[in-house]
Amino acid sequence: MSCGSAQDALISLPETFSSRNLRRNLSQMMNELAEQLQKSEEKVRNAVQTESLVITARNNEISHTEVTRQTSSFLTEPRVFGRDQECDQLMNLLTNEESTIVGKVPILAIVGSGGVGKTTIARIVFNDPKVVSYFEVRIWICVSTWFDVDRLTREMLEGACGNRYDELRNLNKLQSNLKDELVSKRFLFVLDDMWEDDDKSQWDSMVAPLHNCAVKGSIILVTTRKQSVAKLVDARDTIYLKGLDDNAFSSFFSTCIFNDPNYGGNWRLRNIGQQIANKLKGNPLAAKTVTALLKEKVDERYWMKIRDSEEWKSQSGPNDIMPALRLSYDHMPFHLQRCFSYCAIFPEDHAFTCEELVYLWMAQGFLDVRSEGKRMEDIGSAYFYDLFDRGFFQTKQSTYGGLAYDHGFFQTKQSTYSGLVYYTFHDLINDLACMVASKQCLTINGPETRQIPATIRHLSIYNCRRSGEEEIVRALACLEGQNLRTIFSWDELPSGTSGSISDLLKITKFLRAMRLNLCFLVQPHNVNFQKFVSLRYLRLIISNNNTCMTLPREICMLYHLEVFEIKIEHGWFPILELPSNFSDLVSLRHFIVEGEIDMHSKIKDVGKLTSLQELNQFDVQQKKGFEIEQLGSLKEIGGSLQISNLENVKSKIEASKARLAEKKKLDALYLQWNYGEQENENVLEGLKPNTNLKSLGIEGYGGVASPTWLEPSLIFLESLFLVDCKAWELLPPIGELEFLKHLKLSGLPLREIGPQCYGTRQSMKFPSLEELSIIDMPNLEKWVWNDQLQLSLCFKKLKKLKIRGCTKLMDLPLLGCATSELLERFPSLESLKIEDCPPLGFHEFSFLRVLEISYISGLESLDLHSFVALENLVIEGCQSLTSLTFGAHLVCLRILEIVSCKTLSSIKDLKSWVNLEGLRFCDCPGFVAAWDSASKEIERTEPDFSLSLKEVNGDSLALLTLPICKQLTSLQILYLEVYTTEEYELSLQLLTSIDLVDIRGCKNLQSFPFYFFPSLKTITIKFPRIQSLPINSRVDIIEGCLKLRRIKEVHVLIFPVQITFELN
């Protein structure tokens, strides 16, 4: 309907209409007109964006180097086609020491066009078991277009040690720490997606500490699109990667559509598919994107339409796959095109979650909310996974920094994010997003300049140090900011830009999404938040050192705000206060706080936020605005909720006002009382949750009985934690919870875990339970079996059992049973941990894989002959233990730790150590002598007996004085932390296989004959009184080491100085 026809219709209305009818009809016609205009708008916008895409592509307005993607070391491809030869070649280059130059880390390079598979091949080899075992440290870093020495060095250091170094800004200190972490370790660094090919001094600066500490065999692998990068890094070897050959590519192309390399037997589609595949030049990324389009409609006419598309004519060269990507974009529905193009605001190295992107789409009004009964978040998630299925997003594992570090059997360092799934773009997909959004999105991320159109609606500023003050100020001055919908600042802005940012915020009228980094330059009180009446999304990054900050009250006037996020950076813990009128944000759906700080419990009158979907913490208080009834109106909250200070709730009626039973989306609920007598025992009855609950915790409740709703109502419960309920004498029938996987009983006054906990129904008991912990229950005397039940009806899936602090416990279902009966009772049990309990005699655990026994004061002897499947054994703090019998059949044992067993003097059946790889002993004065005695017993019948031990971690140099050293033919790593000196030089000659020695804390040790180790490659010595190694004479050390064929490095650490000599 045109505007003219609408006016004619209004003029022709009968004059006899009553005013009420007139208003009704006018309203109806206006609604119809609005719908027509909306449909017209979508068509026009689609046409404009398509035209913009073609024009932008042909004019090459966006450089390839402006955007890239973030990668990680984790494999994302279930199967890789046609790359066996390249993988084998790379594997040989990485593990070949022959061409290694001492004092310089060799560089390998993989060069190829975008999307051809460089990162995939690097991932395959990076995760290959041979590479994992060959390198002690493996670190994956995505370099991207911004080659910043500080950033890359920090990521290397964080990857090497597993800790964060956000506050450390001094490059010299970063490099010094990195060097210390890598000393005596063979490492592999993968620098993925590198673009810098101009400033060699930056590259030399970054790799300098690596050259100084590299062990022979260490190597750096670089992947890049540019041959000039391989030249700049002085690559020793380069693999040039081309597209897949025709046969491999055809199989890959068909498998992407049909999960079959032969098109599912459809030969007519095969012919058309082959013609399309030929246009993709063997590029896997292009194939994944186009096949996602073909999968939508497996139809000959549809495939022919794709094959004959005009987009293919714009292909500019043999490696140009942009037409294929544009084709997939053009065939998307308009709502997906709009959502995808908005992704151009993300920085080139940004990993995002589904929720993060959906919240931004919500803020811009991109979601069709006309579907009844569906939340905006659900609609947005459907959009997101539609784009993912089309190949526009790719998963990024949630491991911090691509870390892959494993050194020894007892020290594994790894840092991870939470269990969130992160996503990212391939750099060519990011190119496409920036291309199609170039008229609406402006990114300031470097010194590159381009004309800024008046149609810009979304502004993103990042890599501020690279951009520089002048570039940011110039770009902001040219920007017509009054119509901006998005302002995102990803970094701390330079000081000279504060005025420009303030001016921009003053003129912006229609802002819907804003991300500000609050520092000394941009304080919340300097921003007039109340003028942003259209704001839907606000994220504040707090990174200054203020210990106390109150958010301005003006934020609470953002009545349309739907998502409010606060992130605390750099590991500091401020006192952050909320304004008392925070509950005026009546449209708020998500209030998310990242950092170790609780903000949810500070919301006064939280019940007004009826759309809120997260509330992690609620503290009941005896003051207005914090009553438990505030929870009653929050029907949308999901995730987890902890309700604390429940002693302030006085009755069941008051408790029921929380209306927990109506909260269908709540997954986890933790109810906490401060310890003490409760005035009303029925309060817990009034806190009945919804039946969908998956996790429940009850702590500190003073009532004598469990709630009546616990077992019959919570049919989907998976985790149950009952802690410090000091008056409970009986357990409810939790054995009938069908889906219960995790159960923790702690601090309960029970004397018996008896038949009542199994329930009365004739059904399997604890049918899904996998992990059971019984902790700090000093009154517990027995855990009895229900004799009325068949053995096969209980604990069928129990894998882990932990019992700690049960000092009176003498009766267990585990005791006094034959192996066959134990297998019936606990057929899946793999791990048993017993701590601070009376001596419990178990002798028939033939199926256990992990056994930990700690602080069993009356345990005098331990016979393990029946533990034939045991792989990991830990014995700690058993002060009465004198005898340890392993048994000849304990051949699966791999890890053994014995700590603080001061009276241990006898070890029997050492043959069971035949496959032992890691041994740790500490504070056990008689252990070495007992080991020596046991080894002599074996030598009488097997003089050539040897052990497979690869690592020994101990506290006694006496080990080195005994003949048992000759049994350690596979030893590679030796850690000794001792404080006495003994004669040991003779036995050192017996350690013929050792290639690394690390001796620390030897205050009295004055000499170390490292020349006794014929296979030694690296030695690290750390003590203050070393004399016989002439640390001030490189010549003397070289002369002492030249007799060894393999030793290349000697590290002498005399605090705080480290001196490293590299031997040619």
Q: What is the pLDDT of residue 744?
A: 96
* Whether the predicted pLDDT of 786 surpasses 90: no
* Whether the predicted pLDDT of 176 surpasses 80: yes
Verify that 589 and 616 share a domain, yes or no. Answer: no
297 alpha-carbon distance from chain centroid? 36
Whether 675 is in a domain gets the answer yes
Whether 178 is in a domain gets the answer no
Per-residue CA distances from 518 to 69, 170, 445, 461, 903 (Å): 26, 23, 19, 14, 60
Verify that 589 and 624 share a domain, yes or no. Answer: no
- Model confidence at 769, in pLDDT bands (50, 70, 90)? very high
Verify that 632 and 723 share a domain, yes or no. Answer: yes
Burial class from Cβ neighbours inside 10 Å (0-12, 13-18, 19+) for residue 326 reads: buried
How far apart (Å, rounded) are the C-alpha atoms in residues 752 and 742? Answer: 20
Q: Check residue 212 and report its DSSP letter.
A: H
Q: Kindly report the average pLDDT of the chain as a whole number.
A: 76
Whether 1019 is in a domain gets the answer no
Q: What is the pLDDT of residue 1026?
A: 39
Whether 647 is in a domain gets the answer yes
Q: What is the per-residue pLDDT across 348-366, written as a single tens digit (0 to 9) for each?
A: 768 899 999 999 999 999 9
- Model confidence at 14, in pLDDT bands (50, 70, 90)? very low
* Whether the predicted pLDDT of 1005 surpasses 60: no
Verify that 658 and 714 share a domain, yes or no. Answer: yes
pTM for the full predicted model: 0.70
* Whether the predicted pLDDT of 102 surpasses 80: no
Q: Which of 728, 752, 786 is the last residue of a domain?
A: 728
Q: What is the per-residue pLDDT across 460-472, written as a single tens digit (0 to 9) for each?
A: 888 766 556 777 8
Verify that 585 and 618 share a domain, yes or no. Answer: no
CA dihedral 806, 809, 812, 815 (to 10 degrees): 110
**641 forms bridges with which residues in the sheet?**
669
Q: What is the pLDDT of residue 722?
A: 94
Q: Which residue has the higher pLDDT, 319 or 638?
A: 638
- Please choose, from the candidates 791, 779, 663, the residue with its C-alpha nearest in 3D space to the C-alpha of residue 726: 779
Q: Which residue has the higher pLDDT, 621 or 858?
A: 621
647 alpha-carbon distance from chain centroid? 37
Domain count, the chain: 3
Judged by average pLDDT, the poorest of 142-156, 484-498, 645-659, 739-753 is 484-498
Q: Check residue 794 and report its DSSP letter.
A: B
- Please choose, from the candidates 993, 972, 951, the residue with its C-alpha nearest in 3D space to the C-alpha of residue 411: 951
Verify that 638 and 703 share a domain, yes or no. Answer: yes
Verify that 537 and 614 share a domain, yes or no. Answer: no
* Whether the predicted pLDDT of 719 surpasses 90: yes
Q: Are 493 and 522 in contact (CB under 8 A)?
A: yes
* Whether the predicted pLDDT of 98 surpasses 90: no
* Whether the predicted pLDDT of 99 surpasses 70: no
Q: What is the pLDDT of residue 691?
A: 92
Q: What is the per-residue pLDDT across 828-864, written as a single tens digit (0 to 9) for each?
A: 889 999 999 888 766 667 788 999 999 998 888 888 8
- The single residue listed with the structure tokens 């020793």 is 236
Mean pLDDT across 402-431? 54
Per-residue CA distances from 762 to 737, 739, 794 (Å): 13, 17, 11
* Whether the predicted pLDDT of 136 surpasses 80: yes
Q: Which of 680, 699, 728 is the last residue of a domain?
A: 728
Q: What is the per-residue pLDDT across 857-881, written as a single tens digit (0 to 9) for each?
A: 888 888 888 888 899 999 999 999 9
Q: Are 569 and 596 in contact (CB under 8 A)?
A: no
- Please choose, from the candidates 339, 395, 338, the residue with its C-alpha nearest in 3D space to the C-alpha of residue 74: 395
* Whether the predicted pLDDT of 345 surpasses 60: yes
Q: Are 463 and 445 in contact (CB under 8 A)?
A: yes
Q: What is the pLDDT of residue 851?
A: 93
Whether 295 is in a domain gets the answer no
Q: Which residue has the higher pLDDT, 258 or 146?
A: 258
Angle 953-956-962 from CA coordinates, rounded to 5°: 100
Whether 566 is in a domain gets the answer yes
Three-class SS state of 246:
helix
Q: Which residue has the higher pLDDT, 18 or 864?
A: 864
- Model confidence at 50, in pLDDT bands (50, 70, 90)? very low
Contacts of 511 (CB under 8 A, 6+ apart): 484, 485, 486, 487, 532, 534, 535
The sheet carrying 107-112 orders its strands as 237-241, 107-112, 219-224, 187-194, 137-144, 403-405
* Whether the predicted pLDDT of 717 surpasses 90: yes
Whether 585 is in a domain gets the answer yes
Q: What is the per-residue pLDDT across 268-310, written as a single tens digit (0 to 9) for each?
A: 888 888 888 877 778 888 788 788 878 878 888 888 887 877 6
Q: What is the pLDDT of residue 1025?
A: 40
Q: What is the pLDDT of residue 544?
A: 60
Q: Which residue has the higher pLDDT, 599 or 995?
A: 599
Whether 171 is in a domain gets the answer no
Q: What is the pLDDT of residue 313?
A: 57
Mean pLDDT across 508-532? 75
Token code pair at residue 448: 């590159």
Mean pLDDT across 311-336? 72
Verify that 593 and 611 share a domain, yes or no. Answer: no
Q: What is the pLDDT of residue 534?
A: 92
Q: Which of 597, 617, 639 is the last residue of a domain?
A: 597
Q: Are 103 and 211 in contact (CB under 8 A)?
A: yes
Verify that 693 and 717 share a domain, yes or no. Answer: yes
Q: Which residue has the higher pLDDT, 579 or 406?
A: 579
Q: What is the pLDDT of residue 498?
A: 74
- The single residue listed with the structure tokens 């109506």 is 662
Range of the domain at 4: 1-32
Q: Which residue has the higher pLDDT, 884 or 985?
A: 884
- Model confidence at 339, in pLDDT bands (50, 70, 90)? very high
Mean pLDDT across 1016-1034? 42
Q: Which residue has the higher pLDDT, 602 or 71?
A: 602
Q: What is the per-residue pLDDT across 902-955, written as a single tens digit (0 to 9) for each?
A: 999 999 888 888 888 889 999 898 998 898 888 888 888 787 777 888 888 888
Q: Which residue has the higher pLDDT, 569 or 229?
A: 229
Verify that 541 and 637 share a domain, yes or no. Answer: no
Verify that 626 and 704 share a domain, yes or no. Answer: yes
Verify that 541 and 579 share a domain, yes or no. Answer: yes
Q: Are 255 and 292 in contact (CB under 8 A)?
A: no
Q: What is the pLDDT of residue 371?
A: 67
Highest averaged pLDDT of the listed ranges 39-43, 114-118, 122-126, 169-173: 122-126
